[in-house]
Chain A
């Protein structure tokens, strides 16, 4: 554990890495604060630039945006009553009443310090548990990876927002996209339509930018108040907020633990963890703490939980190569483009990369505390930017970044194409994250499944003969049964709700 941290230190201690992490924290706080953007969008916007950097500097930039963006949403939730990201939705319950009672600066300060401390707690969990999980998985071969890919797909599809069936269908759509390109086993071309641009499928960045950024911007254009400028008083945060946060240390530890736990389960999001942590804090609160009416503990619970989730999300992403959520899927895609292949092999072959990632994660949280406190007036100022100014800038970034990937106009068309797909999905209320995770897990599933059958001398029995593969498949089966039962119950509940009205 400490060996990898030491090995990663030289990669971390470079001007480029530290500068990009610092920029990432500032940028993350800004995109988190701006309603409609958020950490995922922030990561997507810088992704084309990041993959041109050395691995740790690139991951540092993306991680910093992930960490700071998960906190930035609370600024608008507290001051405007509009969560900048869904992650900050639960922060609204107590943060906004605090601001209305004239304690906006305290609420933002508590939010930033809880986020940073929760994130650091998540980091400790990450550093301790990831190598253990990777060590356990180091003997995994094709059958185990097949079972793992199935686990990832089921859990992600199930827990993604919206209906279960739509989540599964979106995941399957991602799997289909993943089949485009050259087949690894026969070297035959699949769905390339005679175009050499598609010999290796679509570029993951073009897919991610198209699917997420374009529909979001289209939706923002359709919202009212495109030209409205929000007037806000200046807010200054003091170090007092850290003391206020530490006063809730029990709540902080519990919520951070819940957040890290939720993060480590593929598919469970920071949104879920912040609501659960809020509910737990409320249930265990003293009667005089008025939750929902401006209780400091409410902000501590939600913000520490959603940032600790980021640390937890890194656990399956790094140890198993299974992205925990859409943000982790973007990180995973970037790592692969950078030549770093997450999974047990990473810990054995490139411990310096693992150590570097741990260090940039921890540093991001420390910087979040410092920069968050110092620069809150700037982030509050950013909230005044009109949507009519912001949207074209975001779209321009998307286009320039995607083109710059390979100086390819085809990538731009692909991005626009996936943008249209994203718009259709969003209009029909299909979740988008399972598509990206399907694209990433598709090759893992298909190639390992076919490889298992080639290795096997007894057909499909190889999946049962190997104990870990058998256990993982049993878990998959239980999950699948759970999914079906849950789906049936959901459908019945919907029918029951509709019948009285009809």
Chain B
């Protein structure tokens, strides 16, 4: 009697899992996003909408800020590994925070879907600033007046801060970093003349390009520098900070919990791949200053691995800045 019962149970189980898979997704999927609302969330919403259309179920973006983005990863990893939770894998919580010793994972601890989009960082001056017109002029003044200039990269110890600090270090420029918590506040203070230079994100720049003098796009890609109206990039100014490709930029690679079943993962990968291949989606991302990426899951290790190595090489830049400021 037992054997048939077991067989029936097993068959029912197989059928049930098959039925569950056939139905996946049968409810809303959540994308756990590591920042507060702003330009980056708008970009994720574009991808989520398109991917949701491909899946036939909506994907909502859940803002879970805190601890440099790591709270979102911990939150998502605490959820069931059933494919209904996607991690919006921004480089800061995925690679930078582990490099800084604030998280104990590596990129290999997650299952990748597709890369979504990247955003180049920048250095901008207020258009009303008549003291300098080029990045080299700012750096020359800064080197002569250590500790006098004030700049912001929005939050502290984020990737723009690390890359900017590394560039300043290359010019022996010691300046005070001013942290801001809300997207747009630093740019407001830049325009008010309180800050000398700042990271101007693409949305702020595209909203009011005439308000800024973009003196540097922190990328070696001419294509990415177009986001800032063709501002000089690292190659143009012959700045070698030892990083290239995605490493000096912000980007997100959507991920899922490593225990997510392969079947569900594959469905998500296919949907995201189809969404990212759509020209309307790519155009919408470009319109808000984000560059759509085309990397697939099979390229994850090859692309993300070197980013970690390059960021490791820059981790001392912020410490150098702090030490130099203390010495002033």
Contacts and interface: CB of A to CB of B under 8 A. Distances in A.
Interface of A: 139, 141-142, 181-182, 184-187, 189, 196, 199-200, 338-339, 341, 345, 349, 406, 443, 447, 451, 454-455, 457
A454 B178 contact: yes
Kindly name the residue among B64, B67, B68, B74 whose own CB sees the greatest number of chain A CB atoms within 10 A: B67
B179 A406 contact: no
22 contacts: A141-B189, A141-B192, A142-B194, A182-B67, A187-B67, A196-B70, A196-B71, A196-B75, A199-B66, A338-B37, A339-B37, A339-B63, A341-B184, A345-B184, A345-B185, A406-B62, A406-B64, A443-B181, A451-B178, A454-B176, A455-B194, A455-B195
Given A199-B66, A200-B71, A339 B41 contact: yes
A457 B176 CA distance: 10
Nearest to B38: A339
Q: 3 closest pairs, A vs B, by CB? A: A339-B37, A200-B66, A199-B66
A443 B185 CA distance: 14
A451 B67 contact: no
A461 B105 CA distance: 45
Kindly name the residue among B148, B185, B195 whose own CB sees the greatest number of chain A CB atoms within 10 A: B185
Interface in B180-227: 180-182, 184-185, 188-189, 192, 194-195, 207
Nearest to B186: A451
B84 to A, nearest CB: 11
A406 B66 CA distance: 14
B179 A184 contact: yes
Contacts of A142: 189, 194
Given A141-B192, A184-B155, A339-B36, A451 B184 contact: no
Given A196-B67, A196-B75, A345-B188, A455 B178 contact: yes
B197 to A, nearest CB: 13
A185 B67 contact: no
A55 to B, nearest CB: 9
Taking residues whose C-beta sits less than 8 angstroms from the other chain, chain B's interface range is 35 or more
Nearest to A201: B66
Contacts of B70: 196, 199
A243 B75 CA distance: 58
A187 B181 CA distance: 11
A181 B66 contact: yes
A457 B149 CA distance: 10
B182 A341 contact: yes
B245 to A, nearest CB: 26
A185 B207 contact: no
B30 to A, nearest CB: 8
Given A199-B71, A339-B36, A349 B207 contact: yes
Contacts of B182: 341
Contact of B102 (A187, A338, A455): A187
B206 to A, nearest CB: 12
Contacts of B38: 339
A54 to B, nearest CB: 11
B181 A447 contact: yes
Contact of B67 (A186, A189, A338, A457): A189
B297 interface: no
B157 interface: yes
A454 B186 CA distance: 13
A141 B71 CA distance: 30
B156 interface: yes
Interface string B1-43: 0000000000000000000000000000000000011100100
A459 B267 CA distance: 57
B66 A185 contact: no
A10 to B, nearest CB: 17
B74 A196 contact: yes
Contacts of A196: 67, 70-71, 74-75
A189 B148 CA distance: 29
B316 to A, nearest CB: 17
Given A200-B65, A455-B178, A457-B148, A139 B192 contact: yes
A339 B203 CA distance: 14
Contacts of B37: 338-339
A141 B67 contact: no
